[in-house]
Structure 1
């Protein structure tokens, strides 16, 4: 990384200037149907197909913004021998397979011997178990350090919040190393000007605190929306409230919380049912976000660093309208058949990533969702045509760039899940 980047993300839709990605590697294939559930997958992916689909995302974003790859950023950090040893020590302490007495030393030596890029690969793709005694020989484990199967969803382990980075406290320990790596990248990369906030560094952290980036949306620089479900707990939201929002400059701020179902797994994060598309439009899974149901919407107001009110709202859109964001909802799966809505929500039909106001990326397979987008003024453009320069984005005011998606959606996420923005231009509200 050669450029200096001052982190600044004050909306979901500001023109994108920098984004962190992770192209899926062998870690995606390093699982079997037997251990897929442990890896948080409901199915195993075909790596070659997934990589081809992912190339459409990286190709499009490279045309629009600065892009940074996790592995390259990590390798740059690991080039410093002192930092390298600090990171290795932390990983050896956290990994259950190697924190057992007698294993740490040999694994640490192996890792210290690696050059920066090879080490970055091992820390992401996994370190094979060396079967040099009977216990290891008979172990069903294949790795001394397990692969990070979910890391191509870079959204979850770190979140840009205004000019700081909130490090995720993951709901599953299989993803803890993702958070460690992202914190190391932001703490030790000279080009990133930011401060990291990590719940585990706070001695007062509630043990039930969990926070993942798919649940956190910056609607406006004074409005944050957070999903409360299986991945982000109320204790995690309380941490954000106390350690981030109440610590900011003394102005009025608003935190909107949307409770999420625990099942099915497609409701894993808020951005699977609600994303922002434009200054006046949003994508919603209508049965949960608009239709009356048992899942609560809560509005917390902060003034001068203190909580001054907590109250229920009818739904997320009404709460935003009261705060001056009057958004027209566009329905995931179309405005009509609940069957289509449910099917397309399952395949990340509500999960859009904005590269500018009214300029978004999503899966083309969700045809009813795309029809609704088109009816609402969004031109439908294929990612392949943009990469081949058959289409010029500057010719369109509002558009959806469609990615092909047969394998990637099976991992349980969409374009927003696979992107971690670090800088956006201000929005003219």
Structure 2
């Protein structure tokens, strides 16, 4: 991993390397337990592990280098990590933006250990690229709430797990990385809107797939020159040459939480509705790679949540 050079300024450029984590070795035995830990259904860890292996195989088949951070934990941390039921959702723990890695901050105390585990490794592996947050963050900053629109603009949700205080605290760092616009949307605090990538995703160089209700939400846009302006969602992304493909009917996790491997290829849950892609002229010719991850999705996240891109190249 020491030869890797983290770099991401797009959601669709060719994925070269990615961080993942296997699921916990602990079963979620019944629906009552699942609901109490904010999962959707009970989970069998053996099935979940098999599906994680299949996900990694699909990535490897596309020549994506896989880094399982959990393989490098010291023994006490590894013993604890195996019991952390959310550790497979690595997207939240950090974010590669251009040539910089920023650490996340857990929006719920249950997830704090996995943040510390992975970030302690990133500091060592990528000491030049890893940048500490300049200010003390006391509230959540989870990167499932961030979409890189292009080299100039990023869109961040402040809602259930990421606070507006945290985003405003890092604005100067985001501008220093090289972004000229930081757009903030504030979605309702529900299980269906836990993170931004459960509500919209970039599916093509100029197409964003989004739940239809997002059209009603204003976006607050910060720039270096002005504190902020307001735009409606569709107006704002059109300024950045995106069409919005509004979805009236959807299954939140499998339909929206997919992963772009490159501009032509998408990794998609076998539970996803393929008609969403087939019905759009710019998406119907995509190379769709289906992967069975439904046991993993019961934890409340999808393929995008389970993958942290380290390197995307044009």
Query: So what's the TM-score if we normalise by structure 2?
Result: 0.90
1:312 to 206, 230, 254: 230
In the TM superposition, residue 296 of structure 1 has moved relative to its aligned partner by: 3.0
Aligned residue runs from structure 1 range 328-339, under 5 A: 328-332=243-247, 338=248
* Map of 2:297 onto structure 1: 409
Higher relative contact order (CA 8 A, sep 6+): 2
* Counterparts in 2 of 1:331 and 1:248: CA distance versus 1, 3 Å: closer
Write the distance in 2 (CA, Å) between the matches of 1:362 and 1:257: 27
Write the distance in 1 (CA, Å) between the matches of 2:219 and 2:23: 35
* Map of 1:15 onto structure 2: 14
Retained in 2: the 8 A contact 1:365–1:404?
yes
1:124 aligns with 2:87: no
Retained in 1: the 8 A contact 2:269–2:294?
no
1:51 aligns with 2:49: yes
Aligned residue runs from structure 1 range 354-393, under 5 A: 354-367=260-273, 370-377=274-281
In the TM superposition, residue 121 of structure 1 has moved relative to its aligned partner by: 2.9
- The superposition leaves residues 321-369 of structure 1 with CA deviations (integer Å, 9 ceiling, x where unpaired) of 22xx32233344xxxxx5x43xx12x442112111113211222132xx
* Counterparts in 2 of 1:121 and 1:366: CA distance versus 1, 3 Å: same
- The superposition leaves residues 349-400 of structure 1 with CA deviations (integer Å, 9 ceiling, x where unpaired) of 2112111113211222132xx11202335788xxxxxxxxxxxxxxxx7222
* Map of 2:242 onto structure 1: 327
Query: So what's the TM-score if we normalise by structure 1?
Result: 0.67
1:296 to 196, 201, 218: 218
Write the distance in 2 (CA, Å) between the matches of 1:378 and 1:246: 32
State the structure with more CA Rg. 1
- The superposition leaves residues 115-171 of structure 1 with CA deviations (integer Å, 9 ceiling, x where unpaired) of xxx44530302xxxxxxxxxxxxxxxxxxxxx3110101101111121121111111
Retained in 2: the 8 A contact 1:152–1:418?
yes
Retained in 1: the 8 A contact 2:25–2:45?
yes
Aligned residue runs from structure 1 range 145-160, under 5 A: 147-160=83-96
Alignment length (residue pairs): 313
Retained in 1: the 8 A contact 2:95–2:103?
yes
* Map of 2:175 onto structure 1: 246
Aligned residue runs from structure 1 range 207-356, under 5 A: 207=138, 209-242=139-172, 244-248=173-177, 253-263=180-190, 265-287=191-213, 289-290=214-215, 292=216, 295-303=217-225, 308-315=226-233, 317-322=234-239, 325-332=240-247, 338=248, 340-341=249-250, 344-345=251-252, 347-356=253-262
Q: Is the partner of 1:24 in helix, strand or coil? A: coil
* Counterparts in 2 of 1:32 and 1:239: CA distance versus 1, 3 Å: farther
- The superposition leaves residues 163-207 of structure 1 with CA deviations (integer Å, 9 ceiling, x where unpaired) of 121111111111111111121111122xx36433344xx5x4253
Write the distance in 2 (CA, Å) between the matches of 1:194 and 1:225: 25
Write the distance in 1 (CA, Å) between the matches of 2:266 and 2:118: 25
Any unmatched runs of 5+ in structure 2?
none
Write the distance in 2 (CA, Å) between the matches of 1:148 and 1:31: 15
* Map of 1:69 onto structure 2: 68
Retained in 2: the 8 A contact 1:279–1:358?
no
Any unmatched runs of 5+ in structure 1?
79-117, 126-146, 333-337, 381-396
In the TM superposition, residue 38 of structure 1 has moved relative to its aligned partner by: 5.4
Write the distance in 1 (CA, Å) between the matches of 2:137 and 2:52: 37
Write the distance in 1 (CA, Å) between the matches of 2:287 and 2:34: 36
Write the distance in 1 (CA, Å) between the matches of 2:311 and 2:42: 33
1:195 to 118, 129, 136: 129
Aligned residue runs from structure 1 range 58-207, under 5 A: 58-64=56-62, 65-72=64-71, 74-75=72-73, 78=74, 118-125=75-82, 147-189=83-125, 192=126, 194-199=128-133, 202=134, 204-205=135-136, 207=138
In the TM superposition, residue 36 of structure 1 has moved relative to its aligned partner by: 4.1
